[in-house]
Chains A and B, each alone.
Chain A
Amino acid sequence: MSTLAVHDHGVAHHDDHGHEHHHNQSFLSKYVFSMDHKMIAKQFLITGITMAVIAMILSILFRIQLAYPDKTFPLLTTLLGRFAPNGRISADFYLSLVTIHGTIMVFFVLTAGLSGTFANLLIPLQVGARDMASPFMNMLSYWFFFLASVIMLSSFLVQKGPASGGWTIYPPLSALPKAMPGSGEGMTLWLISMVLFVASSLMGGINYVSTVLNMRTKGMDLWKMPLTIWALFLTAILGILAFPVLVAGVVLLIFDRSFGTSFYLSDIVLNGVQQPFEGGSPILFQHLFWFLGHPEVYIVIMPAMGISSEVMSVNSRKPIFGYHAMVYSLIGITVLSFIVWGHHMFVTGMNPFLGGVFMITTLIIAVPSAVKTFNWLATLWRGNIRFTPAMLFAIGMVSFFISGGLTGIFLGNAALDVNLHDTYFVVAHFHLVMGSAAIFGMLAGVYHWFPKMFGKMMDEKLGYLHFWLTFIGAYLVFFPMHFMGLDGVPRRYYAFTEFVSMQRWLTVNTFITWAAIMAACAQVAFLYNFISSIFIGKKATQNPWESNTLEWTTPVEHLHGNWPGEIPTVYRWPYDYSKPGAEEDYIPQTVPFSQTMSSNLPHDFEDNPKGLEELNKFNSTLKANEQVK
């Protein structure tokens, strides 16, 4: 390599890597403070999985309480101490459990764990870049996330327990440290953790957008990008626009909490004492929160959509159906997600006319969502399907997206929401449409790109076991909740055996808890598979799924800089599977049209008159030869 504009250490970075220079990296710079996007992706993934396991254990704990509100389990006291006196989880700790379960799943697993892992892994590899725009910022992004995770979990160690006002931290519960036990130090730690988390997300997101827009390899125009990249790119844009608004809301909340202002507080009586706060508006917080909060659910689901599109196309051995429609529907979802936040606030006393507007914008999201669903199904239709574990999870993602999405049409309706808000119907809806669907998309990605990340294959049989138990388990857990919600059973209640009208749902709750425990056990199969495959898995080939995208042209052994020589040039879109006339059922993006004359179509040369001319020449020669025969 001979061309360097400047030989300055910080800048010449990209040039040295990826050539036969062997850096003597220390353990610390290779595994801990790594600036290699592939290592950072693994760090995000493993931290994300750890957080997911913790959040899952929290959910099992509160499920035990819901199923057996009157029984005592001395083991719980042994494990949880003061949080579960007399063998029962205390009411305050129950609220902490649901709060932290929600926070961890939404932010730490499905935002950082999902986007962090796959944007870091796939963006440079699939657009053909040596690394991110700023590898240093990328490293900071992970370590801020790590610190945020540690602080969030450390709130279990403070005397009064973690935050317990729900993951939406509405004031006044979050603004008055004395409001309930979880409003004290636990809430403070929650806020500190989330500020760090947002900083991490923003640093990551800025890098993702910049890398996609600036560092694509030659030939990789926007319309040749795989759908994973489109999805991750638009997700990052959502994060960049939405997270600062949450910060603004949180800053005002911190002032209310610690400085005595009354942005959100008014007419508060605490323990019989009138508080000095006057004139604040708790609705203001809800506006600021949901302006982030709604885009956030698309931040969660869009990477899963992108991953599923890619996995389903590869394993159907068919081009994705409606590539352009897929991109435009992602863009549509991105734009619409900013003008629907009011549907979380229908019953806050909102002007009914405004509610109507939010209802209409909300229901319009059904259109791009339906376009995507249709295209996934059409991609599967008459495909030469390979049921790899990744493929099963991708199909599972579509299933959850449909069954959870349908109830979104009910909930998006301002009139129906009067009945349905804050019931188990809502819990069922979002756990299917963004919880299970996003987790399945993430797992599809893990199974599919595990060979790229670790150079090993995961065990397929364990993968099937994992899939079926989780898939059935998730439906058994969340489907009955619809009926509970329709009957008016409210969410977040500690023990609704206290209410006569809800007592009959106790048997259903017991059933759900056992289904949840089964699904949780299924995750052991995944964890074993994941960890053991890293060490004793079958060695992966370079392109185990016979896929077209660029990441499979890099060597199995990782090197910082990704490609040992030049970055390959891209000539075609990523979905040339089973192209008629081609020798194999896939043509990687790096194969020029000149090498695939027999499978070229006039459509391939839309902006390339010279190529079209060559194609016509080739075809007429072919025809002439036929006639001679």
Chain B
Amino acid sequence: MMAQIQKDNDRLDLAPKKFNMWIFIFTSFMFFAALTSGFIVYSGGKGHGLNVIMPNAFLYSTIIIVLSSGTLFLASKASKTLQFAKQRLFLWLTFALGLAFFAMQLYAMYVLAYKMQIHFVDDNASRSFVYVFAGMHLVHIIAAILLLLNTLWGSYRNIPQVRNLFKMEMTSIFWHFLGIIWIYLYVFLLLNQN
């Protein structure tokens, strides 16, 4: 009996590592919460409103990132039913959508800066905050894309299914979280754009 319990104790346990990812998400959330709180303190205290109508590109990128969450979910589902070709296909799709999101965000910033003349360096730092939100989120997106590629690479190397599922889950947690954070930031900007 004891021996059996002990075996359970010592078994391969990826749960704590997955838990690490959840805690990391907390830290990341606190980071964005701090930035948005900073925005509120700044614009409230100084009376500097944003007064910028958000470019449509932000809406398109929001749609793209929601779609990418969908394709990643399908990849997860495929990996659970051992359909590895399908898993890879959806992973590649997610990857492509991730790049598209990245490009669309850059385009949105281009529109802000060149079409609308809303610059990063501005006496009204509320406007600088828009770039900080999107930029810091993109830094996270780079990390997420690397994680995604790592999962993809693992799936081509035929790693054991436990590891495959583990990698899929780690990627999914992070990716969906970044989608949610972007929606949060976008809604926050929409609510504060006047």
Contacts and interface: CB of A to CB of B under 8 A. Distances in A.
A566 B6 CA distance: 6
Interface residues of A, number: 56
Contacts of A240: 23, 26-27, 30
Interface string A240-281: 111111011101100100011111000000000000001111
B126 to A, nearest CB: 9
B10 A15 contact: yes
Given A241-B26, A259-B121, A133 B9 contact: no
B24 A206 contact: yes
A367 interface: no
B192 interface: no
A207 B15 CA distance: 12
B20 A279 contact: no
A365 to B, nearest CB: 21
A207 B30 CA distance: 18
Interface stretch (A2-10, A95-103, A104-112, A593-601): A2-10
Interface stretch (A210-218, A428-436, A457-465): A210-218
Given A8-B160, A248-B34, A278 B19 contact: no
Interface string B2-37: 110111011111111101100110111011111101
Interface stretch (A185-193, A284-292, A495-503): A284-292
A133 B20 contact: yes
A206 B45 contact: no
A301 interface: no
Contacts of A213: 19
A369 to B, nearest CB: 25
A1 interface: yes
A5 B12 contact: yes
Chain B contact surface mostly: helix
B46 A251 contact: no
A266 B35 CA distance: 19
B70 interface: no
Contact of B38 (A8, A202, A211, A248): A248
Interface in A1-40: 1-6, 8, 11-12, 14-15
A259 B41 contact: no
B9 A217 contact: yes
Given A244-B34, A248-B38, A133 B16 contact: yes
Contacts of B123: 262, 278-279
Contacts of B125: 261-263, 279-281
B39 to A, nearest CB: 9
Nearest to A214: B16
A12 B24 CA distance: 24
A104 to B, nearest CB: 24
Interface string B71-87: 00000000000000000
Interface string A439-481: 0000000000000000000000000000000000000000000
B120 interface: yes
Nearest to B161: A6
B31 A210 contact: no
A409 interface: no
Contacts of A211: 16
Contacts of A550: none
A3 B159 contact: no
Contacts of A243: 27
B173 interface: no
Nearest to B15: A214
A11 B121 contact: no
Contacts of A371: none
B12 A4 contact: yes
A249 B34 contact: yes
Contact of B11 (A5, A280, A569): A5
Interface centre among A134, A248, A281, A283 (most CB of B within 10 A): A248
B26 A251 contact: no
Contacts of B6: 566-567
A121 interface: no
Contacts of A215: 13, 16
A248 B19 contact: no
A291 B34 contact: yes
A252 B23 contact: no
B30 A241 contact: yes
A241 B16 CA distance: 19
B163 A8 contact: yes
A127 B118 CA distance: 54
Interface in A212-227: 213-215, 217-218
Contacts of A57: none
B23 A261 contact: no
A311 interface: no
B141 to A, nearest CB: 16
Given A5-B11, A261-B128, A284 B41 contact: yes
A427 interface: no
A241 B29 CA distance: 9
A586 to B, nearest CB: 24
A4 B162 CA distance: 12
A153 interface: no
Interface string B29-60: 01111110110011001101000000000000
A318 interface: no
B9 A284 contact: no
Q: Which of B24, B128, B132 has the most CB of A within 10 A?
A: B128
A130 interface: yes
Nearest to B21: A206
Contacts of B26: 240-241
14 contacts: A15-B12, A133-B17, A134-B17, A202-B27, A206-B27, A210-B16, A210-B19, A214-B15, A251-B35, A259-B120, A262-B122, A281-B45, A566-B9, A569-B5
Given A6-B12, A206-B27, 14 more contacts: A5-B11, A6-B162, A14-B13, A133-B19, A206-B20, A214-B15, A245-B34, A248-B38, A251-B136, A255-B128, A261-B120, A261-B121, A284-B41, A566-B10
The 5 closest A-B CB pairs, nearest first, are: A133-B16, A248-B34, A278-B123, A244-B31, A214-B16
